[in-house]
Amino acid sequence: MEYLSGGELRKKITGKAKLTIAAIRHMAVELLCGLQFLHSKGVVHRDLKPENILLDGKGNVKIADFGLAATNMIGNKKVTEYCGTSGYMAPEVYESKPYNAMADYFSLGIILFEVAFKYHPFYDGEDDKKMKKCILQDEPRYPEEADPDLLDLLAKLLCKDPKTRKKDVANIKDHPFFNEINWEELDVEEPTPPFPKGRKNPRTIQIKRMELEEITDKEKAVTDDEQKLFTDFPFISDKWKALINQEEAS
């Protein structure tokens, strides 16, 4: 996996700095492209949340952690498994009703809401039962003053009815919030993030790498007794064989 020095998206949400509309739009565009690519391959993530969205050194977002993803979700296929993280699951998932990729769009709506306004659209507490009740019954708590196009986009993503949500996101790239986006150019060239890159000092990275190398030199990752457990294991990579031969030769 590539090194993503920008950390989790959660840092952007909990940070003091308020993101501009341009920055929010950038995140929305990249997450939307990522989701649509996954869905085109029959993959529904099912656990979208700020902790599972990482930023690289340039500030571009990456969707991570596919441990709960559903695959082969092609055509009209749906699942009913209660799956995800409290606070980011769609109403149909909470109710264990048949659902598909539309559940990911609801999660995306919550994430973009938090990125824009720095609070949860339904409930800020840690009581899972209350969170479920609020998502199922309450309307999002929109701020009084906000970009109207952003509010309309969020309202469509956070629609509780998956059938209506499906209609609303069918042509989501044509939404007024994305009027400034040239989608054809995005297929050719990665956009430049309009917010601080969040890149760590190269010197800090070098020191961390030296610390890890020092630990690796001092301690074996696997003891001799533990290594015996892998005797006659049916697969050993050629690279690992070469390392073993090199160690024995030295």
Find the catalytic residue in 47, 56, 104, 168. Answer: 47
187 noted as active-site residue: no
CA distances from residue 78 to 10, 81, 92, 105, 115 in whole angstroms, order as listed: 30, 10, 11, 15, 29
Amino acid of residue 56: D
Angle of helix 102-117 relative to helix 162-169, nearest 10 degrees?
70
Distance CA 149, CA 155 (A): 10
Would you tell me how many other CB atoms lie within 10 Å of the CB of residue 98? 11
Q: Taking the mean position of all CA atoms in its chain, how far away is CA 242?
A: 37
Q: Which residues are catalytic?
A: 47
